Chains A and B, each alone.
Chain A
Amino acid sequence: MEFSLKVNQQNFTVEVDPGTPLLWVLRDELQLMGTKYGCGIGQCGACTVHIDGEAQRSCQTTIEIAEGQDITTIEGLSDHGDHPVQEAWKEIDVPQCGYCQGGQMMTASAFLAKNPSPDAKEIRMAMQGNICRCASYNRIEKAVAVAAEKLTK
């Protein structure tokens, strides 16, 4: 079936089976590989994207639901890799293997858009759904705080 999608401000038409998760449309049809597969059941957050500004699990979002919505992936978070969250991630040198980090940054950026000056506990709660198997949690936490500072400046 044909579906039209708006991803990172661009319009696409894709021909996929109904029920296909947005994750696989992004990766296999649109070649947007920054959105990662980790579990497929909404547990790890590696596949996090923004749908109308909300952090959502793209493995749990079917193409029918995604159609017509405003979707942003890590590739579209900023034009030059300079979103405050990306800059903070770089400054703190967060990634170890790096695999989870796109999802982490998408969760963090949606969260900070709603709550630009969070306290430590709020940061931890917001990031609780994203697994980092390398356990770079200390730096993720620090980077979210640094990004918050950048955003409010």
Chain B
Amino acid sequence: MSKTINRRNFLRLSLLGSGGLLIGLQFAGCESKGSEMPVDIDTLDFTSFNAYIEMAKTGHVIIYSPNPEIGQGVKTAMPMIVAEELDVPWKMVTVKQAPLSNDFNRQVAGGSQSIRQNFPTLRNAGATVKLMLMTAAANQWKIPVSECSAEDAIIKNTKGDQLKYADVLEAAALLEVPEKAPLKKSKDFKLIGQPIANVDIDEIITGKPIFGIDYKEEGMKFASIIIPPFGANLATFDAKKALEQKGIEQVVAIGDKVAIIGQNTWSVFKAKDLVDVQWKNIKSDQDSKVIDAKMDKALSKKANKIVGYGQYDKAIKNADKVISKTFSSPYVAHATLEPLCFFADVKEKNVRLIGPTQVPKDSATTVAKELGIPVENITVEMTRMGGGFGRRLSTDFTLEAALISAKIKAPVKLVHKREDDMDSGQFRPKVKYQMTAGIKNNTLKAFQIREAIAQNFGLRPWNANFFPKGTTDHYNIESALIETEISTLWWRAPISNMVGFSTGCFLDEVAEEMGKDVIDLHHEMLDVATGKKLPYAPKRMKEVIDLVKEKSNWGKSDKIQGFAAYFSHNTYVAEVCEIEMRGDVPVPTKVFAAVDCGIVINISGAKAQVEGSILDALGHSRNSEISIVKGKVQEQNFDTYKLGRMMDTPVVETYFVDTNAAPTGLGEPAYPPAAAAFANAVKKATGKRWTNHPFLA
């Protein structure tokens, strides 16, 4: 790892760049500091060790968090890993968001991979600096470094001498950075596994301007945007009325979109509705109902084989019993509460991009390509994000801001009005899963998933290989792609969200058909899988199932309970959902979750992700639907696009398997089983099988 002395200068400059904002805040008289940070760390002199770590003589440490923060908690968890190996007290650590830089691995928030892929690197970043500090102390004592140890920012030798990290800072920084350094044993972790509050908590609870939509600088313009229906193109637009409005400066076409530029957000929002836009090539087949019919047709015959083994067709023919059920989901929007937005300042030779993105690197390369500006001349600063869920893995809105800035030759902040955020949807694909099982001698012998999906990605070997692969002698996974012009994208727990739901519900049906307890059925299936080479470990899956069984008092409880388990994003989750009937309406009251995600970094953040994923799944499966008519999104705002709210929220109880296994992802894997566990409880209570999302439609 190379030294990055320039980082600080870069950040200093970027802070100056937002000077207008800071002045604005003082003007409003709200300059309160977080109560626990008595020192203004911006006034301290820091020595930089590597891309992650800077230390000051006062003992304060800055740790840069490389990956985008979308609410999944990596801005707290990633620096915790560095601080653990560096061995500094957490209260002396200030976390800062690193900008896009070649110093870091994959700076992406997606696929629940931030912790899993960076765990070794983050540890090494901390451990190497600890070794440098110890070496500097050893040099001063004129003893070998092997006679030194360090803890809580204090270095000791065998004679009992002590030096603080701060005492040897400068000498240490001059040393060669070692490639590798000894790492702690997991049993010696002090910080990892503790409940650590969100590092931005003080800013959040006092309303500090830390989100992309809050960014502002001197001379900046404001923009809103109009989005065409899917598949349609811009014909003409008449902006006369809009331009008569106070504060409106320009209305311009950006490809098939129309941008309104003015002096503040409200004026460009209001003027947007006064622009008379005519679309051409509106397509009547870009329609949820049309797609629905195509899917049903696709499911009636064989589709493309993705994965399979054994003799599925034969096993079905020879089965004593064959059961089949189809599950479906409409399009679902990401609907991040902070709508899509970005700041761009495009100059002739360079570009500054500031805002909420899950993919800073893709943002830079996309803008570079479109504008013909070398990617080295593009800087990307990541703000905190008001939710991501996958939507900010796309670069469309960043590019829009850049194209607008290039066109009007001024810095601009683009904010999508909620309605335009919905129109810009790149939805969770509309999908149907036809599940079929062949039962022989009261054993599950053959299993098939046939998918019909309205998008260009779907079941692929990587997720078709998950549970229940290996649990039956005959297995077949097929997928039919329904082509449309309706944009789709990764959406929290992509693919596994609905295939996990469908699998969880279907196995409940299978168990009922066999007269078996569904947990017993899972055990039987996992016994069959044991010893086979699979992307998941049947033993770990059994452990979470047993843990949730115990915690929920499954089989003994007087509550109405439903169960489901799934493996995705390298993590094992089993859930039991309890419901209550309120009149005719089943309401989830409690969810028990047992999770194996390897070592838990931040227990508070980890539980938050499990709670969030489960409540998210229950909210969407009950309420949310995007329907498309002639390419136009019908649900334009939260009055018709319904989300889960407080009243229908169960209490989530989370249990983690105690393990030394390397950490895996947690932003998504608790999602897939949740709606299945709920629907399975509903089946028990009412005899009715819910197959179609949203349940309450």
Residue ranges of A at the interface with B (Cβ–Cβ < 8 Å): 7-8, 10, 16-17, 20-21, 24, 27-41, 43-44, 46, 73-77, 79-82, 86, 89-90, 93, 95-102, 105, 124-125, 127-128, 130-141
| B370-419 residues at the A interface, CB under 8 angstroms | 384-389, 415, 417-418
Residues in chain A near residue B266, CB distance under 8 A: 16-17, 20-21, 24, 28
Provide the bound-state CA to CA distance between A30 and B389, in Å.
31
Q: A32-B28, A97-B70, A135-B619 are in contact. Are A89 and B649 (CB under 8 A)?
A: no
Q: A34-B208, A79-B32, A105-B205 are in contact. Are A138 and B338 (CB under 8 A)?
A: no
Provide the bound-state CA to CA distance between A73 and B28, in Å.
11
- B205 pairs with A134, CB closer than 8 A: no
Residues in chain B near residue A124, CB distance under 8 A: 646-647, 649
Please pick, from A29, A32, A39, A89, the residue contacting B30 in the complex, using a CB distance under 8 A: A32
Please pick, from A16, A35, A97, the residue contacting B337 in the complex, using a CB distance under 8 A: A97
CB of B264 within 8 Å of the partner chain: yes
Q: A36-B338, A80-B32 are in contact. Are A135 and B644 (CB under 8 A)?
A: yes
- B214 pairs with A33, CB closer than 8 A: yes
Residues in chain B near residue A134, CB distance under 8 A: 71, 337, 387, 612, 616
| B277-317 residues at the A interface, CB under 8 angstroms | none
CB of B219 within 8 Å of the partner chain: no
- A31 pairs with B25, CB closer than 8 A: yes
B58 nearest CB across to chain A (Å): 22
- Please, what's the 1-or-0 string for B195-230, where 1 marks a CB less than 8 Å from any CB in chain A? 101101110111111110110100000100000000
Q: A39-B637, A136-B612 are in contact. Are A98 and B264 (CB under 8 A)?
A: no
Provide the bound-state CA to CA distance between A98 and B206, in Å.
11
Q: A8-B29, A41-B639, A97-B387 are in contact. Are A102 and B269 (CB under 8 A)?
A: no
Given A38-B339, A97-B337, A97-B387, 7 new contacts (CB under 8 A): A10-B29, A75-B28, A81-B34, A89-B201, A97-B384, A98-B198, A131-B643
B537 nearest CB across to chain A (Å): 29
Provide the bound-state CA to CA distance between A86 and B71, in Å.
19
Q: A17-B246, A86-B206, A133-B337 are in contact. Are A98 and B35 (CB under 8 A)?
A: no
- B73 pairs with A137, CB closer than 8 A: no
8 contacts between A and B (CB under 8 A): A32-B30, A77-B206, A80-B32, A93-B608, A128-B647, A131-B643, A135-B611, A137-B649
- A90 pairs with B28, CB closer than 8 A: no
Please pick, from A8, A16, A95, the residue contacting B28 in the complex, using a CB distance under 8 A: A8
Q: A31-B27, A39-B637 are in contact. Are A102 and B387 (CB under 8 A)?
A: no
Mostly, the A contact residues are: loop
- B337 pairs with A99, CB closer than 8 A: yes
CB of B267 within 8 Å of the partner chain: yes
| B350-386 residues at the A interface, CB under 8 angstroms | 384-386
Residues in chain A near residue B336, CB distance under 8 A: 97, 99, 133
Provide the bound-state CA to CA distance between A31 and B29, in Å.
10
Residues in chain A near residue B274, CB distance under 8 A: none
- A101 pairs with B265, CB closer than 8 A: no
- Most chain B CB within a 10 A radius of its CB, from A33, A75, A86, A89: A33
- B337 pairs with A38, CB closer than 8 A: yes
Residues in chain A near residue B28, CB distance under 8 A: 7-8, 10, 30-32, 75
CB of B95 within 8 Å of the partner chain: no
CB of B335 within 8 Å of the partner chain: yes
Provide the bound-state CA to CA distance between A138 and B614, in Å.
11
Provide the bound-state CA to CA distance between A73 and B266, in Å.
19
Q: A31-B216, A37-B339, A96-B612 are in contact. Are A138 and B637 (CB under 8 A)?
A: no
9 tightest A-B CB contacts, nearest first: A34-B207, A97-B71, A99-B386, A31-B24, A135-B615, A74-B207, A33-B209, A24-B266, A98-B204
Provide the bound-state CA to CA distance between A38 and B639, in Å.
12
Residues in chain B near residue A28, CB distance under 8 A: 222, 264-266
- B264 pairs with A76, CB closer than 8 A: no
- Most chain A CB within a 10 A radius of its CB, from B32, B69, B388, B389: B32
- B337 pairs with A141, CB closer than 8 A: no
B209 nearest CB across to chain A (Å): 4
A73 nearest CB across to chain B (Å): 7
CB of B187 within 8 Å of the partner chain: no
- Most chain B CB within a 10 A radius of its CB, from A17, A37, A80, A101: A37
CB of B651 within 8 Å of the partner chain: yes
- B616 pairs with A135, CB closer than 8 A: yes
- Please, what's the 1-or-0 string for B414-433, where 1 marks a CB less than 8 Å from any CB in chain A? 01011000000000000000
- Most chain B CB within a 10 A radius of its CB, from A27, A32, A89, A95: A95
A109 nearest CB across to chain B (Å): 11
CB of B638 within 8 Å of the partner chain: yes
- B418 pairs with A93, CB closer than 8 A: no
- A99 pairs with B208, CB closer than 8 A: no
Residues in chain B near residue A125, CB distance under 8 A: 647
Which residue of A is nearest B31, CB measured? A75
Provide the bound-state CA to CA distance between A35 and B211, in Å.
12
Provide the bound-state CA to CA distance between A121 and B109, in Å.
36
- A98 pairs with B214, CB closer than 8 A: no
| B611-626 residues at the A interface, CB under 8 angstroms | 611-612, 614-616, 619
- A139 pairs with B611, CB closer than 8 A: yes
Provide the bound-state CA to CA distance between A96 and B610, in Å.
11
B425 nearest CB across to chain A (Å): 14
Provide the bound-state CA to CA distance between A134 and B338, in Å.
11
Which residue of A is nearest B21, CB measured? A31
B515 nearest CB across to chain A (Å): 36
- B646 pairs with A128, CB closer than 8 A: yes
Which residue of A is nearest B205, CB measured? A86
Residues in chain A near residue B206, CB distance under 8 A: 34, 74-75, 77, 81, 86
Residues in chain B near residue A132, CB distance under 8 A: 337
- Please, what's the 1-or-0 string for B586-611, where 1 marks a CB less than 8 Å from any CB in chain A? 00000000000000000011001101
A28 nearest CB across to chain B (Å): 4
Residues in chain B near residue A127, CB distance under 8 A: 646
Provide the bound-state CA to CA distance between A57 and B202, in Å.
24
Provide the bound-state CA to CA distance between A80 and B30, in Å.
9
CB of B645 within 8 Å of the partner chain: yes
Residues in chain A near residue B612, CB distance under 8 A: 96, 134-136
CB of B679 within 8 Å of the partner chain: no
Residues in chain B near residue A96, CB distance under 8 A: 71-73, 608-609, 612
Residues in chain A near residue B197, CB distance under 8 A: 90, 93
- Please, what's the 1-or-0 string for B67-95, where 1 marks a CB less than 8 Å from any CB in chain A? 00111110000000000000000000000
CB of B652 within 8 Å of the partner chain: yes
- A36 pairs with B643, CB closer than 8 A: no
Provide the bound-state CA to CA distance between A3 and B406, in Å.
35
Which residue of B is nearest A74, CB measured? B207
Provide the bound-state CA to CA distance between A106 and B204, in Å.
13
Residues in chain A near residue B614, CB distance under 8 A: 135
- A95 pairs with B198, CB closer than 8 A: yes
Which residue of A is nearest B27, CB measured? A31
Q: A131-B337, A131-B643, A137-B649 are in contact. Are A98 and B637 (CB under 8 A)?
A: no
- B337 pairs with A46, CB closer than 8 A: yes
- B652 pairs with A138, CB closer than 8 A: yes
- B207 pairs with A73, CB closer than 8 A: yes
Provide the bound-state CA to CA distance between A102 and B33, in Å.
16
- B644 pairs with A44, CB closer than 8 A: no
- A141 pairs with B207, CB closer than 8 A: no
Provide the bound-state CA to CA distance between A27 and B336, in Å.
19
Which residue of B is nearest A129, CB measured? B645
A9 nearest CB across to chain B (Å): 8
